[in-house]
Amino acid sequence: MLRLIKYTKPYLLLILLTIALLFVQANADLALPDYMSRIVNVGIQQGGVENAVAQAVRQSQMEKLLIFMSPEEQNLVLSNYTLVDETSPDYAQYLETYPTLASEPIYVLNEIDQTMIDQLNPIMGRSWVVITGIEQVIADPSKAQSFGPGLNFDPSKIPPGMDVFALLKQLPAEQLSQMTSQFDQMTETLGENMINQMAVGSVKDEYAALGMDTAKLQSSYIWRVGGMMLLISLLGGVCTVAVGYLAAKTAAGTARDIRQAVFQKVEDFSSAEFDKFSTASLITRSTNDVTQVQMVIFMMLRMVFYAPIIGIGGIIRAVDKSPNMWWIIAVAVLTLLGMILVVFSIALPKFKIIQSLIDRLNLVTRENLSGMMVIRAFNKQTDEEKRFDKANRDLTDNSLFVARIMVTMMPIMMLIMNGLSLLIIWVGAHQVAEANMQVGDMMAFLQYAMQIVFAFLMMSMMFIFLPRAAVSGGRIADVLETEFTINDPQNPKAFNAQFNGQVEFRNVSFRYPDALDDVLHNITFTAQPGEMTAFIGSTGCGKSTVINLIPRFYDVTEGSIILDGVDIREVRQSELRNKIGYVPQKGMLFSGTIESNLRYADQDASDEMLNEAIEIAQASEFINAKPEGMEAEISQGGSNVSGGQKQRLAIARALVKKPPIFIFDDSFSALDFKTDSALRKALKAKTGDSTVLVVTQRVATVKNADQIVVLDEGRVVGQGKHHELMESCETYREIAMSQLSQEELK
C-alpha cells in the first residue's frame, strides 16, 4: 500500500478536510455521553442545580454561610454577589423571579465565568454542607456523632429556642478558625465532587425558600441540555455524511488514477515484460486488486483516523469520570489487541493465496471462453468443467476460511462487549453505593467503554481487510515499478526527412530474457525500398522473431538493425513505429465497426483511402455484401468474421497508414491461393516504393520476391531469388519441392 501512496497526493486537500470533519464528528460523539451524564446527575438527581454556587441566597442564609469561611473567602464570595433590597433599581425584576425578596433582602450572583464558579464552588459547598449538618444535628442530636468533631460543642446543651448560628458568630476568631480547618479536612476526605453533590440539595431548598419554581428549573435544565445533545447529534450526522462523501470521492479518484497508471504502464510494455505477467493476471490487477485498494482507502479515511480519536478520547473521558475503574478498560483493550493480532497472523497468508487463486480462476475462465470451439471439437467440456471446478473450489475454500475467521470474531467481540458492560455495572454500582461516583457518571463510563470497544472493532476490521489490500497494492506496484527492458534514448536521433525505408541487419543475434541460448545467430541482410524481402523456413526457425526485432518488440542481444543509416535503438520508439505498417500473424480486430478498425491506423484517413485499402486487401467483396457496408459491426477480437476476412481487414488497416515499411507476419496463411495471388499483385502495384517484409511458409507467396532469406534453427542458410535458392540452398529446395510440383517450380 505504501508503494501507491503517491497516487493520493492530488486528493491531499480532501483528505485533510476529511480528517478535520472526522475530528469534529468524533468530538461530537464523545460529547454525547457527558451530556447524558449531566441530564441524569444534574437534571434528574440534582433537580437542575449544577453546583453549590447559588444564583441567589437570602441575606440571613448568606450570613450563616459566611460564618464558616475565612476572611479572604468571605471577601471573595461577597465580591461576586450583589445585595438586592427594595431600594435597588432592579427590585421589581428580581421580585418576580424571587418572591421572597418582598420580605427579606437577597444576594444575587453577578455575571461570572466558569473559572470563578470553580473557585467559589468548594468554598460555598463546604459551608452549605456544614449548615445543613448543624440543622440536622439540632433536629436530631443523635446525628452529632456522624457529623464529626468539627462542631466542637454539644448540641444537646443548647437552650431551646436559641439561635445556634448567632451563638457561633460570637465565638472567638481563633475558635472559628479551628472549626473551619476541621471542616477543610472533612472536605478533603469526602472530595470536592461529593461535597458539591451534598451541597446541591441545600441550594435547591434555598431556591424553594426564595419562592422559585424548582420544577421549572429542573425541566428547563433538561430541555436545555437535551437540546444541546440534539444539535451535537445533528452536527455529528452532517459530518458523517460529509466524511462518507469525501472518503468515497478520494477512494474512487485514487482507484481511477491507479487503473489509468497501470493501463498506461502496460501499454508501454515490450514483449519481454508481457512474458513476466500473464494477461489474466494483468486484468485481475487492473480490476479486482484496484477495487481492494479503493475499498481500503475508503475504510482508512472513514475508520482509521476516526477510531484512534474515539479510542484515545474515550479513554481520557472515561478515566476522568471514574479514575478507579481504568483497569476495566485496560483489560478489554488488551484482550481486543490479542485477538486482532491472532486474526492478523492467520489471515495475511491466506489473502496472498486468494489473489493468486483469482488470477488462476480468471485464466481458466478466459481460456475456456476464447477456446470454446476447440473444447467442443474435442469433447473436452467435462474435463474443462473439472478444471474450472478445481480453480473455483480452491478460491472458495480459502475465501471461506477467511470468512470463518471474521464470523467467529464477531461473537467474541460481542462477548467482550457484554462482559465489559456487566463488569462496569457491577463495579460502578459499588462505587455509587460508596458515594465515589454518581449514576450518570457510571452510565457515561459505560458508553465511553462501548465507544472504545467499537473503535478497536473498527481497527480490527481494518486489520482484516488491510492484509488483502496490502497484497493487492503490492501486486499493482509490481506492475507499475517494472523496469522497461526497451527504453527510448536520452538524446534521441531523428530519421532523415527523405526517409527511404532501407532495413539492414548487421550480425544480429538474439536470445529471449532469462534464456540460456540464442535463438538467432549472426543474421545479416539488407531489405531495399521498392522490393519484397521474404523469410521462409521450418516452424520455429526464428522467422517471426526476426521481424519482431524491427519495431523493437524485443531488442537485439548482439549486432544492430539499421533503418536508413540510423540504429533503431537511437530513435524514439514512437517515431520508429510510425514508419512501419505491421500485420501480425494473428489478425487482431477491435470491437466497433469495419470503418473504425480501418481508421485505427489513421483517424483522418479519407473515404477514398479506405476504399483503396480494402480493394488492395481483396476485402471489398465481403464488405459490400454486408447491408451495413463499412458500418458493419465487428465483435471483440473479430469473432464474427472468418479468419481470412480478419486477415484481409488487418492488411487493409496497415495499408491505410501508408508507411514506408510493411511487415507481414504470415498474414496470408488464411487466404486461399487465388485471393493470395490477387492480393500480392495489388500490393506490388500499390506499394512499389515501400520496403515489404513478408514472413510465410508458402513458397508460392515468395516465389516472385526480390529477395528470399531462408532460416534454419536461427541461422541464415540461404539468401537470394527463387531460382538461385533452388540451386544453392538445400533447405529451401526441400521446402519448395514439398509444396509445389515441378511445373510450378519453374
Please name which of 264, 334, 253, 333 lies closest in space to residue 301, comparing C-alpha atoms: 253
- Give every CB contact of residue 671 below 8 A, 6+ residues apart in sequence: 618, 644, 647, 648, 679
pLDDT in tens, 537-561: 888 888 889 998 999 888 899 999 9
What does DSSP assign to residue 212?
Answer: -
Domains belonging to the chain, first-starting first, are: 52-213 (no CATH), 269-480 (1.20.1560.10), 496-579+660-746 (3.40.50.300), 589-658 (3.40.50.300)
In sequence order, what DSSP letters do the residues of 379-408 get, joined into one string? T-HHHHHHHHHHHHHHHHHHHHHHHHHHHH
Please check the confidence at residue 599 and state whether its pLDDT lies above 80.
yes
| Residue 448 DSSP SS3 | helix
Question: What whole-number percentage of the chain has pLDDT above 70?
Answer: 91
| Residue 54 DSSP SS3 | coil
Read off the C-alpha cell for 680: 500480392
The secondary structure of 110-159, three-state, reads CCCCHHHHHHHHHHHHHHHHHHHHHHHHHHCHHHHHHHCHHHCCCHHHCC
pLDDT of residue 223: 92
Compute the average pLDDT of residues 19-34: 91
pLDDT of residue 571: 92
Would you say 572 and 743 are in contact if contact means Cβ atoms under 8 Å apart?
no
pLDDT of residue 173: 67
pLDDT of residue 503: 93
For residue 176, what pLDDT band results from cuts at 50, 70 and 90? low
Would you say 387 and 371 are in contact if contact means Cβ atoms under 8 Å apart?
no
pLDDT of residue 180: 65
List, in sequence order, every residue forming a beta bridge with 661; answer none if it has no partner.
580, 691
Q: Crossing angle for the helix pair 439-480 and 12-38, nearest 10 degrees?
A: 170
Please check the confidence at residue 488 and state whether its pLDDT lies above 90.
no
C-beta neighbour count of 402 within 10 angstroms? 19
C-alpha pair distances (Å), 64 with each of 57, 105, 169: 11, 14, 9
pLDDT of residue 256: 93
Compute the average pLDDT of residues 591-598: 89
pLDDT of residue 253: 93
Cα within 13 Å of Cα(204), Cβ side:
20
pLDDT in tens, 47-95: 888 888 889 999 988 988 888 888 888 899 999 999 998 888 888 888 8
User: Whole-model pTM above 0.85?
Assistant: no
pLDDT of residue 715: 92
pLDDT in tens, 641-655: 888 888 888 888 888
Please check the confidence at residue 239 and state whether its pLDDT lies above 90.
yes
Compute the average pLDDT of residues 576-583: 89
pLDDT in tens, 684-729: 777 778 899 999 888 887 888 889 999 998 999 999 998 889 888 9
For residue 171, what pLDDT band results from cuts at 50, 70 and 90? low
